[in-house]
Each structure stands twice: as C-alpha cells, then as structure tokens.
Amino acid sequence: MRAAFMTGVNQIEVRSDAPEPTLDPAGAILRVEACGICGTDARTFFNGDPKAPLPWQLGHEPVGVLEEVGPEADLPPGVERGDRVFLGSILTCGRCRWCLEGFQNLCEGHLLYGYDPFPGAYAERAAVPPIATKNLIPLPPELPSDLATVADPFACALNGIEQLDIRLGDVVVILGTGPIGCWQAVMARDRGASKVYLSDVSGERLKIALDAIGEVVDDAWVAGEDNGVEEVRRRTSQGADRVSVAAPAKPAQQAALEMAAKRAKIVYFAGLPKHDPVSALDMNQLHYKELEVLGAYGATHRQYRITMDYLDRKQELLARVVTHRWPLEKIADAFETIRTGAGLKMVIVP
C-alpha cells in the first residue's frame, strides 16, 4: 500500500510498497478516506520528536471505513464493520480516576495515536489498536470525510470554549487565528457573545481567517507591539470578559492578562515548547482584577460526540476552515503550506 514516512526533520517520503497494517484480534483496520494535519504533526515534522522514531508514519486525525474488525474487538455501541468512522487520537486507559470521572483528556497513562508505538494514518490503510477502539465514533451520513477529520482539533477547541464559560453579552477576544481560533470564534458567537474579536501577529493569516469565518467576527486586528491590548481598550470600556490564547506565544499570554476585564476568565489553550515552557506574567493583573486563568488540553469523549453533531449542522461555515486538501503524494507541499502560513486546515486525502 501507499504510505507517507517522515524520514528526518523536514523530510517525508511516500512509499508505494509500505507494509499492510496487521489486524490485532482485538483491533480493527481502517481504510483511510481523509486524515488532517494537526499542529502536533507539524511541530514533529519541523522539529522532530522522540515519540516518532524515524522513519515514522504520522497522522492522528483519521476518518475512514472500518474495513476489518478483529474477532475480539470491543466496538462502541452503534459501530460496526463497514461503517464510516472518526478515530479520536487521545488513547486512554478507561480505569484511572480521570477517565472514570469523564476527563479522558487527563488520563494518567494516556498515549497519542500516530506516535510510538502506534503508527498514524497518512496511508491508504491504518491499524486501530485495541486501546483505540473505544474512540471510534460513527459519522453522520451527510458529513464529508475531509470535514470530519477536524473533529479531533475542533473537540479540543470546544474544551477551551467550555472552560471559558461564555455568557450572553460577554465580550470575547481570541488571540491567534489558526483553525482553533476560527472555530472558537464560531462557538463564542453561538454561545451568545455580544462581541467577538480576533487578533493575530500575521496580517496574512488574519485575512485568511476572516475570509473563512468573518461573518461571526465583529472586528479584528494585527497585534502591534503591545500585542493588541490597546486595541481591546479602544473597543471596550472595561476590557474583555473572556480571552482565549489560541497561539503558543508568551507575549500573547501576558497580553491576555492586561486586556482582560475585572473578574474575567482567560484560557491558555495553546501550550509552549517543552524546552521553554516558563512564561513571565504580571501576577498583579491576576490579583487586583480577580482573574480566573485556566488551561485547556485535549478533549473528552463527550466533547467528541458533541463535535460530530455540530460539524454536521454547520457544514457550510466550518468547511471553509479546511482551506487545502492534498493527495498523499503532495504531503510535503501540505507541510510547507503550514510553514508559510498560507492556509488554515490541511487535509490529506489518500
């Protein structure tokens, strides 16, 4: 079969003679219809990752048809061989405190599909290991596979929105206009925000985002030296009620504290590089304004299910965030497009 292998930093090779995946008696085989490129895939491709030993097959946002199912596989209710399904990437034990309380994203021993020891889905077929079968969710019949691949990052964006707890009339600012920021803007409007503002350090990226979801945004700007703080103050009398930091940037984290209104909520959605995770923040902003600063990581099974229905109902709007669809042979071009910032969501269609 054909599959794409990362052979080095910034190097990827499509092989036509890749070995077929082996069916585990308690697992399944997915015939891949589409697989998104996640920010995690991009960081791995650009920087390397010890959990992706070379040559390695990335891809952890797959959608496809359950082509084979092992005789011992424990499939979720309503999922059968031959179904079109989405595979959630966060692989959990199902037994620890956090799994049992419904916070599977915080599983004590969680793994990630597409990373050692589970090769990903930039291929014509991909193995679904036993630990992943509970993550299979059937697709609504009319939901296109390329849009369904975004269920994984969209559910993560939903987690951040739920942490923000947006109320009717809230002023919401989203820092970062990648796919996550775009989807959060749509959800913020749906939750009753009176104003939704977007900001990004890149004018080109901001324009692409507004071309996709500008109808739900009240205003947007390119962040200047103060990272957009003054822009927020000019548009609001008190500051922002809710701020999502959807960009992995320390200046944005600090700016969020400064632009927030008293008793506002701030969610740090995007993590920082593991080699440089410490950010200098003005804690007096936190103290004197009684701010709530929260983190958001991954998604739960409940959020995956909510996302699938939401994608199906809002196909026309949300599909605009998928700006590029690439055949497997063009996967290197897809990564380069991410590097240049010339698009939003990239999807590989084997």
Q: What is the pLDDT of residues 297-328, one digit of tens each?
A: 999 999 999 999 999 999 999 999 999 999 99
Q: Are residues 68 and 29 in the same domain?
A: yes
Q: Are residues 129 and 206 in the same domain?
A: no
pLDDT at position 273: 79
Residue 271 has pLDDT above 90, yes or no: no
Residue 268 has pLDDT above 90, yes or no: yes
CATH number, domain with residue 318: 3.90.180.10
Q: Are residues 235 and 163 in the same domain?
A: yes
pLDDT at position 275: 83
Residue 272 has pLDDT above 90, yes or no: no
Output the average pLDDT for the chain: 96
Residue 274 has pLDDT above 90, yes or no: no
Q: In whole angstroms, give the CA distance from residue 119 to residue 59.
A: 8
User: For residue 22, what is the DSSP state?
Assistant: P
Q: What is the pLDDT of residues 138-187, one digit of tens each?
A: 999 999 999 999 999 999 999 999 999 999 999 999 999 999 999 999 99
Residue 254 has pLDDT above 90, yes or no: yes
CA 38 to chain centre: 6
Q: Are residues 110 and 190 in the same domain?
A: no
Q: Are residues 287 and 208 in the same domain?
A: yes
- 295, 323, 338 - which closes a domain: 295
Note whether 174 and 196 are within 8 A (CB).
Answer: yes
Domain containing residue 194: 154-295
pLDDT confidence tier of residue 243, bands split at 50, 70 and 90: very high
Count how many domains the chain has: 2
pLDDT at position 316: 95
